[in-house]
Structure 1
Amino acid sequence: MPIAAIRYDIKAGFEDEIAAIFTDYRRPASPSVRDDGGAEVARIVGTAVFLKEDTMVRFIEFEGDIESVARFMAEQPGVREFERKIVPYLAKPRDTATVEGFVRTFTASVMRCVSHLGQTRLSTAG
């Protein structure tokens, strides 16, 4: 299952303030990403956010294609609210006010995956 890592360049020294923003974070009503016809084209399996000094990274585990996930996230009220609240703590501005700007910023912020090792299940049949 793919995992995307999205990097945020933030101002150092505001870890507690940024963490506090997540206490009111509103998750999407559904993890299902649907196209205009209603067919499921992707699914968000899980997310995690890590923060240290001047870097924040959001990990998104998903099924499907990353652009559909980015567009879905751009339309979520909780994500839009988070992006608005984090503006004072950004070291570099992010163009996330529109869906198109969000998708562009999201795509530009995706970190290169150099290794992704998953659990291997061993068969117990025998």
Structure 2
Amino acid sequence: MPFAAVTYDIKPGYERELTEIFGNFRRVKSSRVADDTGEQAGTILSTAVFLRGDTLVRVIEYTGDLEAVARHMAMQPGVREVEQKLKPYLTKPRDTDTVEGFTATFRRSLLTTIAQISARDLPTPA
């Protein structure tokens, strides 16, 4: 399963506030990601958020089309709420108020994947 990681440029010293924002995240009702026609385009399997100094990283484990995953995230109330709550702590503004702005920001913030290794990729023992 692939992973994607996006970065946020954060003002340092707000670990408690940021932990609270993500700790109160409203999860989506379904991990199913649909495309523009309503057909399944993937799933969001898990997310994790990491913080050090002035960098926050959100890691998403998913299946399917990453662009569809980003569009799906852009429409989720919990994601929109987090993006709004993060605004006072950002050193660089993020245009995430619309689906188009969110997906463009997602692409710009995406880290380049250089390796992904999972025990799930190992052959099943006989």
- The normalised TM-score by structure 1 is 0.94
* C-alpha deviation, 1:97, in angstroms: 0.6
CA RMSD of aligned residues (A): 1.2
* Residue 35 of structure 1: how far off its partner (Å): 2.3
Corresponding residue for 2:25? 25
Q: Which has the larger radius of gyration?
A: 1
Kindly indicate whether residue 125 of structure 2 is the aligned counterpart of residue 124 of structure 1.
yes
Q: Please give the alpha-carbon distance, in whole angstroms, between the structure 2 residues aligned to 1:11 and 1:33.
A: 32
Match of 2:6 in 1: 6
Q: Secondary structure, in 3 states, of the residue corresponding to 2:103? A: helix
Gaps of 5+ in 2: none
Task: Report the CA distance between 1:42 and its aligned residue.
Answer: 1.0
Unaligned runs of 5+ in 1: none
* Distance across 2 between alignment mates of 1:6 and 1:98: 18
Runs of 4+ off more than 3 Å: 120-124
TM-score by length of 2: 0.94
- 2:122 partner amino acid: R
Identity of aligned residues (%): 52
Aligned to 2:38: 38
